[in-house]
Amino acid sequence: MKIDKFANQAIIENVSRRNLLKGIVGTGGLILAAQFLPRSTLADGGSVNAYKTGADGMPGGVVWDPHVFVSIAPDGTVSIVTHRSEMGTGSRTSLPMVVADEMEADWARVKIIQAPGNEQKYGNQDTDGSRSIRHFIQPMRACGAATRQMLEHAAAITWGVSNTECRAENHKVIHIPTKRSLGYGELAATAAGLKTPSLNSLQLKDPSQFKYIGKGKVQIIDLFDITTGKANYAQDIHVPGMKYAVVARPPVVLGAAKSFDEAAAMKVPGVIKVVKIDPTPMPAKFAPLGGVAVIADSTWAALKGREALKVTWDDGPNKDYDSQTFKAQMAEQARKPGKIERNEGDIEKALAGAAKVVEHEYYIPHSVHAPMEPPAATVQIKDGKAEVWACVQSPGGTRGDVAKVLGLKEEDVTVNVTLLGGGFGRKSKCDFALEAAILSKSLGGTPVKVVWTREDDIHHSFYHSVSYQHVTAGLDKDNKVVAWRHRSVSPSLMSNFMPDPKRESNLELGLGLIDTPFNVPNLRLETGEAVAKTRIGWFRSVNNIPHAFAMQSMVAELAHELGKDPKDFLLEMIGPPRIVDPRKTVTSELWNYGDPWDTYPIDTARTRRVVELAAKEAGWGKKLPKGHGMGIAVQRSFLTYVATVVEVAVDDQGNVSVPRVDTAIDCGFYINPERIQSQIEGAAVMGLSLAKLTQITFKDGRVQQNNFHDYKVLRIGEGAMDVRTYIVPNGIDIPSSGVGEPGVPPFAPAFINAVFAATGKRIRNLPLGEQLSA
Amino acid sequence: MKLKVNQQERNFDGDPDMPLMWYLRDELALTGTKFGCGAGLCGACTVHVDGKAVRSCVVTMKDVSGHSVTTIEGLSADGNHPVQKAWRAANVPQCGYCQCGQIMSAAALLAENKNPSDSEIVAAMSVNICRCGCYQRIFSAVKSAAQEA
């Protein structure tokens, strides 16, 4: 098989058009000066830094210098660097849009340049935790304002007038007294020679002057390319001379190839090499699982070669992992006293003295992200330097890890970030890029693309953790909830990074357990032991999913027990508007999503507001057709408040559909309401997948699902086709918070509560599956 | 064997059992045809063979010998097929990876049925998975494309 001449040309054109080979150096035009401001925190930034975030504490911290992010060509084209990865949330468009708005650029003349992994230069790039807008709205506003002031200053110098007489407006600077003007392209050379103004000299726009921020009119920058097939993802990368690899990985985590016979694989036409990759003992961080790789001239030959390969596996210590057995073990743990993580009042006494005790258990299995683009990465090593093309959420982290694997210095590794065909947390882990690095090295640096198939993705992921929750509530004689004891048992994702802690870490506990706002005088949150027997990863909204499922289901169960309206009772559990501060009653540090408490406290006025808004818009309490039911749930996650009302319709055979979803979100000041809406719509679909369909189960240490026929995810028409989003309007003084993840957690409990309202059947084990027809 | 891809004659002398998808992606660099599942389950690799939507990951080269293949790159010269326009007007994509396959399914549906019912839209589009969850907008984009066409 040969690549014909035409195709070869197309490959090179395609690659260079996207600037993938050149990084950002090849953009032409004028790059504003090369000197960078010394790294500074924004702590002394006055109004530019109206509130503090955790951004400074992240690797690489914050950079806002226009010399790093903005370049202007003589024809006026403004290039803005976007340093976060794009996986569908729209941040690749939204953050440059903030810069463009503040600098008075005309969006039609803006180009976006994807930064390679370099956190020293660009600041933190770990696109995770719903942080992009939250951490970078202020720095990007500062960047835009500084650019605007530099252009005004350049015009003042050109005309020999005072800065104050010059005003930037829509891609040009106007001399107010004479009305003459100079375009940004004409001013670029002078502006480039200027020093970046200090933070406290920056004058931000008044929000009433925003042209793009908050309007929802700017479409994502890749829209045309996406709809015409030109958008490039890591699976699409072609580098001249590239080879293709697939890897046979141990079916059980920590297993290894005992022996293998490569003869049959080598006989497949196009196969050029079989390479063993050694496993890494836990805690392995993102190191590859090991296995046997087949490298070939084409993806097809590599796949055929892997099929022909004969590997005998040693399954290692996790060979007995069995989801059914594990569930029983977790239940046992959840039924006995655990480690106290937050304690208020006297739970034993309150439960002993309760007029009534209600106790329920909730289970959520493992699941896998299954982004539509399975992981893929290409690595080439030349003259002691490595170049990577990969769909990674954390290009900075990938750079460091690749450097380590190859024994290179970080500055000799370039990580080009492609578009990500979905991420959901999977692509935070760069194991696939490390495989490509190892395999390129095995060929002396020849570019190698590692392709993961869907089966690879489903069999060898970092799984959403399985969890078991045991909740006991005590009611007094007036039917008030006076006691709440909640035990959470779930293997920890920290097992990737440290000897397995065997229980949720404080980071995981902060995801909707020990930060509960419930207004109960005797409150105890505990954890039980569970050993990680596979790789545990974070999955869009992470532990918020099981925590919210248990808490919000239990609230509806209690409402039913007491004959109260579930929405009214939920508000009663949240209690009056106040700041809930668990910091003194938790036994470890309260993890507030890595952000300062004072900026983002737990504010039940906001929790209540989204509950009331979603309920009102959904027409909570209205008469519903036969077989229909409504459920409600709320969760503060990623510092954002989301409440969802789900309406279900259940037919006589137990088939459940979701005719309507109403979701209210309060994410502080918002940048792009149209993309928030799309995130909420998507969260409902992913939430419904989780609640109704998806599960990963293990037997003999192996994942039992293989592809989309047995790992079923939601398809069109299967519900959540009418999702209505209500965004709480906020001024710029209300700190922006997360959007990518917070839509997910309330969905499953709202859905299950709706199923109960429709059928009287309470589902405590997810997914729903066939439980209603059984 | 001979085949046509986006109106251009092609000769192929490789493995006749290779799925069409790998020929398009690896040999012709027509990477708008996406790899999603390799088993005809997700629709990301949807192309048209003689105008009908097929999953190119389960159609082999020998199956398409003598046939005419259209990929997303050949759907419209300027990227302005009514379905593509409707997709942009509705801001359908999030990550975008599955969208070429979605658009190819929708275009084949509308070529065959100018005025599909809601359930015909769902039936035709249910071969395509979107993990970002753009279904609501996919549905409305197909409907508005049907009105435009």
pTM: 0.94
- Gap between the Cα atoms of A336 and A325, Å rounded: 18
For A747, the token pair is 């969905």
Q: Say yes or no: A272 contacts chain B, CB-CB below 8 A.
A: no
Alpha-carbon torsion, ordered A299, A303, A309, A313, to 10 deg: 110
Using alpha carbons only, what angle is made at residue A10 by residues A9 and A16, rounded to the nearest 5 degrees?
90
Q: Are A689 and A714 in contact (CB under 8 A)?
A: yes
CB pair distance less than 8 Å for A453 and B38: yes
CATH of domain B82-148: 1.10.150.120
A chain contacts of residue B26, beta-carbon cutoff 8 Å: 3, 244, 298-300
Question: How far does chain A reach from its first CA to its final CA, in angstroms?
Answer: 53
Query: Quick one: A308 exposed, middle or buried, by C-beta within 10 A (0-12, 13-18, 19+)?
Result: middle
- Tell me the C-alpha distance between B77 and A262, whole Å: 46
How many residues in chain A?
Answer: 774
pLDDT of residue A50: 87
d(CA A528, CA A491): 9
Q: Say which residue the tokens 């600041």 belong to.
A: A123
Mean pLDDT of A563-575: 98
What is the rounded distance in angstroms from the CA atom of residue B34 to the CA atom of residue B24? 10
Residues with Cβ within 8 Å of A568's Cβ and at least 6 positions away in sequence, in order, are A559
**CA pair distance A754, A631, nearest whole angstrom:** 4
Looking at CATH, the fold of the domain delimited by A234-317+375-451 is given as: Aldehyde Oxidoreductase; domain 4 (3.30.365)
Task: Compare CB distances from A7 to B27, B125, B138 and report the shortest one's residue.
Answer: B27
3-state secondary structure of B2: strand
d(CA A755, CA A245): 46
Please give the average per-residue pLDDT across A680-690, as a whole number.
98
Residues 109-148, chain B: which have Cβ within 8 Å of A?
Answer: 119, 122, 125-126, 128-139
Give me the residue label for tokens 């370039």: A414
Q: What is the mean pLDDT of chain A?
A: 94
| Inter-chain contacts counted by CB atoms under 8 A, chains A and B | 197
Residue A152, judged by CB atoms within 10 A of its CB (0-12, 13-18, 19+), counts as buried
pLDDT averages per 10-residue partition of chain B, 149 residues: 98 98 98 98 98 98 98 98 98 98 98 97 98 98 92
Helices (H), A109-183: 119-122, 132-159
Distance CA A765, CA A466 (A): 11
Task: Report the C-alpha gap between A556 and A548 in whole angstroms.
Answer: 12
Residue of A nearest to B76 (CA): A228
| Both structure tokens of A121 | 């230069």
In this structure, the strands spanning A723-727 and A656-666 are parallel
According to CATH, where is 1.10.150.120 located in chain B?
Answer: 82-148
Over the range A192-226, which residues count as b (16 or more CB within 10 Å of their CB) and which as e? bebebbebeebebbeeeebbbbbebebbbbbbebb
Chain A interface includes B48 (CB < 8 A): no
Are the beta carbons of A463 and A537 closer than 8 angstroms?
Answer: yes
Across the interface, which of B32, B36, B44 has its CB nearest the CB of A230? B32
**B133 to A684: CB separation less than 8 angstroms, yes or no:** yes
- CB-based contact, B59 to chain A, within 8 Å: no
CATH 3.30.365.10 residue ranges for chain A: 31-228, 234-317+375-451, 323-368+462-759
In which band, very low, low, confident or very high, does the pLDDT at A31 lie, cut at 50, 70 and 90? very low
Longest dimension (CA), chain A: 84
pLDDT confidence band for A28 (50 / 70 / 90): very low
Residue A35 has pLDDT above 90, yes or no: no
Indicate the fold that domain A31-228 takes in CATH. Aldehyde Oxidoreductase; domain 4 (3.30.365)
Contact state of B35 with A678 under an 8 Å Cβ cutoff: no
Ranges of CATH 3.10.20.30 domains, chain B: 2-73
pLDDT > 70? residue A12 = no
Give the minimum alpha-carbon distance from A292 to chain B in angstroms, rounded to a whole number. 21
| Rounded Cα gap, residues A636 and A604, in angstroms | 9
Q: What is the pLDDT of residue B149?
A: 67
What's the average model confidence in pLDDT over A460-468?
98
Query: Measuring CA to CA, which residue among A34, A186, A200 is closest to residue A168?
Result: A186
Cβ-based contacts of B125 with chain A (< 8 Å): 716-717
Cβ neighbours of residue A501 closer than 8 Å, sequence gap 6 or more: A492, A494, A495
CATH number of B2-73: 3.10.20.30
Task: Specify whether domain A323-368+462-759 bears CATH 3.30.365.10.
Answer: yes
- Mutation target for A interface from B34, B136, B140, B142: give the one with most A CBs within 10 A: B136
